[in-house]
Structure 1
Amino acid sequence: MATQRIYLWDLPTRLFHWLLLAAFVAAFITGQVGGNLIVWHGRLGVLILALVVFRLVWGLIGSTYARFSQFVAGPGAIARYLRGQWQGIGHNPLGALSVMALLALIATQVGTGLFANDDIAFTGPLYALVDAELSNRLTGVHKFLSDVLLGLVGLHVLAVAYYRRIKKHDLLTPMVTGWKNDAPAHSRSAQGGGIVAFATAALVAGAVAWAVGSGWLGHTFAPPPPPPAATETPSW
């Protein structure tokens, strides 16, 4: 089959992908280590929230192959893909399910973290909106989902390797360079998603992150106060 080189993944999509990966790994490590790093765990959570919001907006107004309308498909498309009858580019119907599942789980993970606590001094920015019992439950969900997401990230890496070695489809290079060298001859390069769309998505993401993160201003990022000094009991 004749192929051609097309522009597949725009720069904002690629930046989102790699920034999300780096932020997730850093958040997982800081969450496991705890201690003073728990502050950075919280900050990274707000960053991840901003990235997810950006991607959701970008999925509506971004370039061709970044839009949800282009790759989110129903059961029929998934069945055709499993039978080897799917001829599109970008996220295949099965990969689209993976993308949406990851976004949903990450959003849930971040959402629970906003109300979580570490049983010591750190609390999420929206902790005051719930009672202690609900916060503890959400903290448990938050910790559980971190392991689930770690497993899904591992499966994602294995899927990329499988497509590269077994199916001879290079999914990694286009996500680095933006260009796909072996697209079907009838394919077209991505269109749309210009500077106005990017600025809109970035402003929405920044506004959400600021609105949430402002709950920490002035107190949560500061270290806990030292215990009061012991006073000597008068002998009389």
Structure 2
Amino acid sequence: MKKTFAAPLLAMTLAAFGLAGCATYDTTGARPVGQDPSVTEETVDEATQDDAVGDVQPLSVVQTAAGIYEGDDWYWYAVVIENPNADYIFPDATFTIEAVGADGTILDSDSHWEVLLSGQTALVGSFLDIGSEQIDHLDVIGPEPSEAVYSAAAETGFVTFDGLEVVEDEWYVTVSGNVTSEFVEDHEFVEVAVVGRDSSGDIVAAEYGYVDRLPAGGSARFSVDVWDAPAGLEYEVFASY
């Protein structure tokens, strides 16, 4: 069974978001996500980009959580990021997730490289080098608004999830279903992140897997095993590229 730290992590991370020089930043449910990841800075008209960049809103952290597997010194974490801009994407978004102790010491960190679309994205991963230390909160460092690229929402794609199935076992929960693409290009190694919420809305379990190929306009089956998850959670699924 996991010990989780969702509530204090959320409060501490949102407070850290305002630090100078850092952009600190959560998907709830099977929601459509924004623009076509094939769009790059080179494909955007420079004049349009320059004129519109002042309209870009900063990314935000919706929620964070972390937990340790009982009997191990191995932590999982989940961070839900929101891009509130309908017509902007971050084609080369780099995130650093830092596990911070109560005295402010950075105990471990992990990195993500994402094509960040409009809407919400879940970053799920692990901390392997914390040992017997305790995580007090997470700090999340990510891209500034100036790194956004204009991409009209009406011309971009999204994905949807359906047929969600949750099978609970003594050791883990299997979350499976279909992901359907509304993009104009195939995508390989699409990451599917799963977060489990308790009745209070806190994230108390998280895991991720991959879809080898998601064809343009087509669907693929996904299946993710979430270890040591409590019974009766509500699961939400997110895709990233």
| TM-score normalised by structure 2 residue count | 0.26
- More helix by proportion, 1 or 2? 1
Q: Which has the higher contact order (CA 8 A, sep 6+)?
A: 1
Q: Which has the larger radius of gyration?
A: 1
| TM-score normalised by structure 1 residue count | 0.26
- More strand by proportion, 1 or 2? 2
